Structure 1
Amino acid sequence: MAESPEIVVTVETREGRGSAEAGRMRHQGMVPAVVYGGGMPPVPIAVDEHSIRELLKGAAGENTIFLLKLKGTDEERLAMIKELQVDRISGHFIHIDFIRITRGHKLTVKMPVELVGDCVGVRHGGRVDFVTRDVEIEILPREMFDKFVLDVSNLEVGEHLKVADLASQLPENAKFLEDENRVVAVVEIPKIIEEPVEEEIEDEELVTAEAEEPEVIGKGKAEEEEEAE
């Protein structure tokens, strides 16, 4: 299960605004963040980047439910990462959105899909195309799980598996928010792109023809005089 209330992430309130303040926090290893939802107003906070990286090492990753504790107080609340912005160059976190979790109230989450199995279609020359890597679902916090696991062992070339094929893994009160006919994985024959060799041959023939053609050199003065005689 992805609900892990024993995991505590300590945060502190954030007063400053703007890029300069955000840069100062990141220099100190803190990440600007906000927590919202649960019928309460959003609160700007700052969180230690290392603590979030440790949290993400868990099997559920961003779908882990944990205790968000405000530093220096007894205030704590179940929460989950809703959105995580990452700098593509440095890999550091830029901003994090946390959402408050209320027991008994359903969540909307994107559940990752993992493909397993030795696909028979691959042995026959095909390639598995992983089309849909996560599926949006509605689920109760107590029913949260880590991921969908889809076995592609029996897929032949030209065959596919859909979102509906994950239905047996849905908890009792959960439901898909995706089109159940959406393709998750398909086995296809890789397309071979042929190189345009005809143009190269034509170019070579043209070069050969030009090379065989005798070079025309202007007549010298002596030759012109001989012809005149």
Structure 2
Amino acid sequence: MSSTLMVQARTIASKGDLRNIRSEGKIPGVIYGKGLASPTNISIDAKELALMLRSHANAVIEVDIPGAGKHPVMMAGLQRDALSRQVMHIDFHRINMNEKIKTAARLEITGVSPGEKEGGMLQLILHEVEIECYPKDIPESIFVDVSNLAMGEHLSISDLKLTAGVEVIQDPSTVIVAVLAPQKERTEEQLDAMADEAEEDRKHYEAAQAVDIS
């Protein structure tokens, strides 16, 4: 369990009540999932929530649910204001620590590639990958070592060094980072094609997840 988040119970409220909650520096939310008799409406301190989102949004956290005790949960949904991007509502899903789950892990580049030293441009195609593991094994990030990456070379998901118990569930051949030749030697269409390939892979995964969420 990486952290504990304090929550308060709240009743189902009108739009005016929700505005009052936010004006008090809190964010309304709901907790649901297996092991709970029914969804529980909560509010959370906005500063504590912001800290959690900045540090590790995909972490397993413990919440003390009023009337239901302490439970492990993960963020399942986040609503933001379209203009201000302020968090307006958050959903948490109660999980079973003894069952594998699917979530996302952030990619973190380490090292300096020889290709960059020769004038190439390092391009991170994927910023995170979808993984499956037990909740206790969720990594804060997956390191991508580019210190041996020459000009024109790339690393794929299959090249990632994963900790025990963690499996990436995307296509192993998906490119995650590449050292591109100077811009004048590579067209904008080529760059867009690489980005489109990564986006298409993400959409396929999300479509599969839509029918797999319990």
- TM-score normalized by structure 1? 0.72
> Structure 1: any 5+ residue segments left out of the alignment?
194-229
| Structure whose alpha-carbon radius of gyration is higher | 1
Q: Which residue of 2 aligns with 1:125?
A: 119
Alpha carbons of structure 1 residues 190 and 95: separation in structure 2 relative to 1, 3 Å: farther
Q: 1:63 Cα shift?
A: 2.2
CA distance in structure 2 between the aligned counterparts of 1:19 and 1:134, rounded to whole angstroms: 35
CA distance in structure 2 between the aligned counterparts of 1:18 and 1:125, rounded to whole angstroms: 58
CA displacement 1:145-167 (0-9 Å, x = unmatched): 2110001111111110011111x
Aligned partner letter, 1:46: S
The question of 1:65 aligning with 2:60 is answered: yes
Q: How many residues align?
A: 184
Q: Which residue of 2 aligns with 1:135?
A: 129
Q: Which residue of 1 aligns with 2:96?
A: 102
Alpha carbons of structure 1 residues 18 and 190: separation in structure 2 relative to 1, 3 Å: farther
Q: Is the 8 A contact 2:130 2:168 kept in 1?
A: yes
The question of 1:11 aligning with 2:11 is answered: no
Aligned partner letter, 2:164: P
CA displacement 1:71-118 (0-9 Å, x = unmatched): 5x5711111222333446545321111111212111111000001111
CA displacement 1:4-52 (0-9 Å, x = unmatched): 2xx3322122323443332221111111111122253332221111221
CA distance in structure 2 between the aligned counterparts of 1:126 and 1:18, rounded to whole angstroms: 55
Q: 1:70 Cα shift?
A: 2.7
CA distance in structure 1 between the aligned counterparts of 2:182 and 2:91, rounded to whole angstroms: 40
CA distance in structure 1 between the aligned counterparts of 2:76 and 2:17, rounded to whole angstroms: 23
Q: Is the 8 A contact 2:153 2:179 kept in 1?
A: yes
The question of 1:37 aligning with 2:33 is answered: yes
Aligned partner letter, 1:52: L
The question of 1:47 aligning with 2:44 is answered: yes
CA distance in structure 2 between the aligned counterparts of 1:89 and 1:109, rounded to whole angstroms: 27
The question of 1:171 aligning with 2:167 is answered: no
Q: Is the 8 A contact 2:63 2:72 kept in 1?
A: yes
> Structure 2: any 5+ residue segments left out of the alignment?
186-214
Q: 1:190 Cα shift?
A: 3.5
The question of 1:158 aligning with 2:152 is answered: yes
Name the Cα RMSD after superposition: 2.2
CA distance in structure 1 between the aligned counterparts of 2:147 and 2:69, rounded to whole angstroms: 49
Alpha carbons of structure 1 residues 18 and 129: separation in structure 2 relative to 1, 3 Å: farther
User: 3-state DSSP class of the match of 1:118?
Assistant: coil
Identity of aligned residues (%): 28
CA distance in structure 1 between the aligned counterparts of 2:80 and 2:124, rounded to whole angstroms: 24
Alpha carbons of structure 1 residues 100 and 155: separation in structure 2 relative to 1, 3 Å: same
Aligned partner letter, 1:180: P
CA distance in structure 1 between the aligned counterparts of 2:13 and 2:184, rounded to whole angstroms: 53
CA distance in structure 2 between the aligned counterparts of 1:181 and 1:158, rounded to whole angstroms: 16
